[in-house]
Amino acid sequence: MTEKLAFVLPEIILFIATCLVMVTGQWPVRAIRSFTPWICAVALVAAGMVATSTPVDPDALFPNLIPFAKFMIAAVALLLLINLTGTVDRDLEADVDKGLPFLPIRSNGGEFYAFFLFSITGLMLTVSADDLIWLFLALELTSLPTYIMVAISTHKNVSREAAVKYFFLGALGAAIFLYGFALMYGAAGSTNLADIASVFAAEGLSSLGLAGALLALLGLAFKIAAFPMHFYTPDVYQGAASPVSAMLAFVPKAAGFMGIMLITATVGWNEFGHLPSTIESVLWIIAALTMFVGNALALLQNSVKRMLAYSSVAHSGYMLVGILAGPGEAGAPFFRNGLAAVLFYLLCYGVMTVGVFAVLGALERKHADGSVTDADDIEDLRGLCKTHPLLGWTVVVCALSMLGFPPLLGFIGKLGLFSSGVSAGQIPIVIVLGINSAIAAVYYLRLVAVAYLDKADSSTRAASVNAGSELVLTPFASRRLAGAVSAFGVVLLLVVSQPLVNAAHNAAYFNAPSTAHSDSHDADHALIDPDESVRLDPISQADPQD
């Protein structure tokens, strides 16, 4: 068991930091309380750096997954952390500044940052999972803290209502995929994923195993907000504070897709790159409906948070195309590897979506009764490029990247999903992906037009929507910094996308059961060394060494 410690060192670092922030977040001295986010930041940087040196796990279904996936998680989590500043204890700290005594019972800072680190720890543990029990516990550790974070993110009842909806539907999703895990155990006689994959490869997928896999995938659909488990998404995103909504858009979704990759790899792709027909058909239907439902409902929204919530649903459908495409042929380049495309797209989506939510968190509505709320209505973004150029251009760049507009980062991400789907012969679902990308252009370009083309006072509707309130900048400059870093990352990561593409391709190497449990050491089945990954040319979509 001790040899497993090398694979969970990043999680150990985050756990130590979690214990520290529980103490510093409640400290009577203001300077120590203010240091709490810095402890989180140092821990995330350390965890990301340690993850890059994690050794290859020859028994895992994805032996090279940990370094890339955990580094990506730490990088996006650091961006989320910058955006979280000021979410809780704002009124409490204002009272302290006025000379009132600090009351620990009123403070939520320690718990809030501890829950944040717990959720990121669970996401990293999901990447490390090689057992059904481990996978279940990791998924729940990812989700459970987010229920509390939603509830305490604002003082309004709408946050508590959103948290209750999120919790009960989350419990339903957990029950479904746990039942599926139990059936998979019953079919294979083991909870180890590699052992289950070997049984399914040798004996075929039994009816019990098929039922288990389908239930597991249906339950994981809740984590990624895919149809038909998506209904909670708009209410929760709108009810939570914008920084917490940004976290919900990435962390549970990343955990869900890591789990889906592991379950589909356990079932296995055949020599033609297809999953068992029943599972492939179900995933095909879920992907298509998720894209259509998400994009169609996003068109109807004036609330930017609800629009981004339905956009998140649609993006889950896009990434399911990569799952259907599978790992491709042995040695296939990045643009023919659907799993590599999913990993790279998760990174792209994490950077892009934080930018827009950071802008919503950086703008506030001061109402006549003295209360303050985050900006949410699309009218709040009108003329933003002229009134607040940094925030306005952040919206423009991130929205265009989420659309997949070249030459931004999102274009490379979608190109990987399109090309891998075509190479796997999944032409119908690729056509659905193309149609939905066109539908999504309507509301993404609406955001761009409102922020860039319109004037701040050009709409008579804005006066009625925002009557009795004033749009102001938040006093927390870190939220504006998070938006700027996201917009800058959308451009910069495109320039350095080649190493990221290589890393994602290497991380998605699938250790097929016949390879993982064979006594043969044929060179054709050797594991890919993370330090010797193939450099791919994204233009030719081929290995330049061939």
Q: Where are the alpha helices (DSSP H) in 426-476?
A: 427-452, 460-465
- Whether 496 maps to a domain, the answer reads yes
- Whether 530 maps to a domain, the answer reads no
If one compares 316 and 471, the residue with the highest pLDDT of the two is 316
Burial tier of 526 (Cβ tally within 10 Å: 0-12, 13-18, 19+): exposed
- Whether 195 maps to a domain, the answer reads yes
List pLDDT tens digits, range 292-311.
Answer: 999 999 999 999 999 999 99
Long-range pairs for 459-464: beta carbons < 8 A, 24 or more residues apart: 459/379, 459/382, 461/379, 462/379, 462/382
List pLDDT tens digits, range 357-405.
Answer: 999 999 988 877 667 788 888 988 998 999 899 999 999 999 999 998 8
Q: Are 119 and 247 in contact (CB under 8 A)?
A: yes
- Whether 246 maps to a domain, the answer reads yes
Residue for token pair 């895992």: 60
d(Cα 321, Cα 416) in Å, to the nearest integer? 10
Token pair of 7 as six digits: 């694979």
d(Cα 275, Cα 237) in Å, to the nearest integer? 33
- Whether 329 maps to a domain, the answer reads yes
- Whether 22 maps to a domain, the answer reads yes
List pLDDT tens digits, range 254-293.
Answer: 999 999 999 999 998 877 778 899 999 999 999 999 999 9
Res 542 pLDDT > 70: no
List pLDDT tens digits, range 439-459.
Answer: 999 999 999 999 988 776 644
d(Cα 299, Cα 440) in Å, to the nearest integer? 8
Q: Are 378 and 447 in contact (CB under 8 A)?
A: yes
Res 494 pLDDT > 60: yes
- Number of domains composing the chain: 1
Per DSSP, 523 falls in state G
What domain range includes position 443?
Answer: 2-508
- Whether 532 maps to a domain, the answer reads no
d(Cα 322, Cα 341) in Å, to the nearest integer? 6
Q: What's the mean per-residue pLDDT of the chain?
A: 86
Cα-Cα-Cα-Cα dihedral sign, residues 474, 375, 162, 371: positive
Q: Are 142 and 119 in contact (CB under 8 A)?
A: yes
**363-367, strands of its sheet edge to edge:** 372-374, 363-367, 469-473
Token pair of 136 as six digits: 């279940």
Q: Which residues, other chains included, contact 281 with Cβ-Cβ below 8 Å and sequence gap of 6+?
A: none
- Whether 525 maps to a domain, the answer reads no
List pLDDT tens digits, range 40-97.
Answer: 999 999 999 999 988 888 888 899 999 999 999 999 999 999 999 888 888 887 778 8
- Kindly indicate the confidence band of residue 523, based on its pLDDT and cuts at 50, 70 and 90: very low
Distance of CA 159 to the CA centre of its chain: 21
Res 12 pLDDT > 50: yes
- Kindly indicate the confidence band of residue 246, based on its pLDDT and cuts at 50, 70 and 90: very high
pLDDT at 480: 92
